[in-house]
């Protein structure tokens, strides 16, 4: 097998010093004449030389790699977020690696150790178990994905889920719904507390009596929606409308309600939060609250770049991104 060309090979073919070649590959073009730059570039192209980023990182203490760590890569919410991160980081010369922890806290801690061991330049994380203390101890510039308690000293970017739930509940009550169920996404380590708090606050402010049976904790997936909706429909009387913590849960609820013979929205209205693509193609199409997923990724990447490049303010930043009501066919006026 042919040996990989080295910087010395490039220097020899171009007839220049190793230092000159190093300046070219590291972008220090103001220190190299146009004629010399042309010679070095032709030598690089001829030899097929690729810079050894590992060796370079040892000199600069930079790898130009950041990690995006999320709990479920199959959740359709995340691809747009990841695309926003990748587009912005890519323009700045950074690569993004993905770490999917499957809602397993031990995996999350292991991935944090991996990021530290491999000297990654930054971390974007939607945490489920890892603590602020563990993140700070890693000494990796970090941005929290989501507005979370417990991380007051770390930058964070997230959708305004509290207001998203308020928008949904206000819309449902305008349609005449008073008995509104909540399918609350929850895992071993995380739950949608902002949605629950929003639900309680809205009922109190609106003078609607609280029935705790209408709040059902479910997993963050279609199966959670199926199981939770079955429980709500067993109630007497059952809710006239249901708000799910995310669209995956709502779609599961939509399917099981139809299977049980309920007409949507004539018999019961169903709403989600996120506005993933699947929400627009369900039957009927799902009313939801749109989160600006791509913008969320871009904003998080900007904050992280500022931290990596030491440009941000000393105090931690908290960016809250507004949501938008999207009315489709799964909601209608309350009956009775």
Neighbours of 293 (CB within 10 A): 22
Per-residue pLDDT of 149-167, as tens digits, reads 899 999 999 999 999 999 9
What is the mean pLDDT of the segment spanning 3-32?
81
- Number of neighbours of residue 263 by Cβ within 10 angstroms: 12
Does the residue 331 lie in any domain?
Answer: no
Split at pLDDT 50, 70, 90, the class of 41 is confident
Q: Is residue 328 part of a domain?
A: no
Looking at the structure, tell me whether residues 24 and 40 fall in a common domain: yes
User: What's the whole-model pTM score?
Assistant: 0.78
pLDDT digits over 71-93, tens only?
A: 988 889 999 999 999 999 999 98
- Relative to beta strand 241-244, strand 269-271 is parallel
Question: Do 297 and 200 sit in the same domain of this protein?
Answer: no
Q: Does residue 172 sit within a domain?
A: yes
Considering the domain architecture, whether residues 154 and 297 belong to the same structural domain is answered as: yes
**104 shares its domain with 167:** no
- Do 166 and 142 share a structural domain? no
When pLDDT is averaged across residues 295-313 and rounded to a whole number, the result is: 93
Average pLDDT of the chain to the nearest whole number: 90
Give the total number of structural domains in the chain.
3
223 shares a domain with 134: no
Together in a domain, 205 and 237: yes
**pLDDT number for residue 19:** 86
Least confident of 11-20, 184-193, 225-234, 289-298: 184-193
In a domain, 2, yes or no: no
In this predicted structure, what is the pLDDT of residue 312? Answer: 78
Give the pLDDT band (50/70/90) at residue 148: confident
One domain, residues 69 and 213: no
Question: Model confidence over 230-284: pLDDT tens digits?
Answer: 999 999 999 999 999 999 999 999 999 999 999 999 999 999 999 999 999 999 9
**Would 336 be classed as within a structural domain?**
no
Confidence of residue 14 (pLDDT cuts 50, 70, 90): confident
Give the range among 61-65, 73-77, 172-176, 252-256 with minimum mean pLDDT: 61-65
| Separation of alpha carbons 195 and 309, rounded Å | 35
In this prediction, residue 193 carries a pLDDT of: 75
Q: Are residues 90 and 122 in the same domain?
A: yes
* CATH number of domain containing 143: 3.40.50.2300
In a domain, 58, yes or no: no
CA–CA dist 183, 225 (Å, integer): 7
Do 272 and 316 sit in the same domain of this protein? Answer: no
Partners of 288 in beta bridges: 326
Per-residue pLDDT, 53:
55
DSSP H helical ranges for 76-209: 78-91, 105-117, 132-138, 161-174, 193-206
CA distances to 31, 66, 143 from 125, in Å: 39, 11, 7
For residue 48, pLDDT beyond 90: no
Lowest mean pLDDT among 35-44, 221-230, 284-293, 310-319: 35-44
Q: Do 135 and 72 fall within a single domain?
A: yes
Q: What is the pLDDT of residue 58?
A: 43
28 belongs to a structural domain: yes
Torsion of CA 171, 175, 178, 183, to 10 degrees: -50
Check pLDDT > 90 for residue 55: no
| One domain for residues 285 and 308 | no
Q: Considering the domain boundaries, does residue 1 fall inside one? A: no
Q: Which domain holds residue 47?
A: 7-51
Q: How far apart are CA 50 and CA 150, in angstroms?
A: 43
At 37 the pLDDT is: 85
């Amino acid at each position: 097998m042919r040996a990989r060309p080295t910087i010395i090979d490039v220097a020899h073919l171009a007839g220049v010093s190793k230092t000159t070649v190093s300046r070219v590959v590291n972008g220090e073009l103001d220190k190299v004449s146009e004629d010399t730059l042309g010679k070095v570039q032709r030598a690089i192209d001829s030899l097929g030389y690729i810079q050894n980023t590992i060796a370079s990182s040892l000199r600069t203490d930079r790898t130009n790699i950041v990690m995006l760590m999320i709990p479920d890569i199959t959740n359709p919410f995340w691809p747009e977020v990841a695309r926003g991160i990748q587009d912005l980081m890519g323009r700045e010369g950074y690569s993004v690696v993905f770490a999917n922890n499957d809602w397993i806290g031990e995996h999350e801690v292991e991935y944090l150790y991996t990021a530290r061991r491999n000297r990654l330049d930054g971390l974007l994380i939607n945490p489920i178990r890892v603590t602020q203390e563990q993140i700070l101890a890693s000494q990796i510039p970090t941005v929290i994905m989501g507005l979370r308690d417990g991380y007051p000293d770390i930058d964070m970017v997230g959708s305004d889920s509290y207001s998203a739930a308020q928008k949904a509940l206000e819309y449902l009550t305008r349609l005449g719904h008073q008995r509104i169920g909540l399918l609350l996404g929850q895992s071993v380590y995380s739950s949608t507390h902002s949605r629950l708090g929003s639900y309680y606050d809205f009922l109190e402010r609106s003078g609607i009596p609280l029935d705790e049976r209408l709040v059902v904790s479910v997993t963050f997936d279609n199966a959670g929606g199926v199981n939770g909706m079955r429980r709500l429909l067993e109630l007497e009387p059952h809710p006239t409308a249901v708000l799910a913590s995310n669209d995956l849960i709502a779609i599961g609820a939509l399917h099981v309600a139809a299977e049980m013979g309920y007409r949507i929205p004539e018999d019961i209205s169903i709403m989600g939060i996120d506005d993933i693509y699947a929400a627009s193609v369900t039957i009927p199409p799902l009313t939801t609250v749109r989160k600006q997923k791509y913008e969320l990724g871009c904003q998080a990447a900007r904050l992280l770049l500022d931290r990596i490049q030491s440009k941000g303010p000393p105090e931690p930043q908290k960016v809250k991104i507004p949501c938008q009501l999207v009315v489709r066919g799964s909601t209608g006026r309350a009956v009775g």
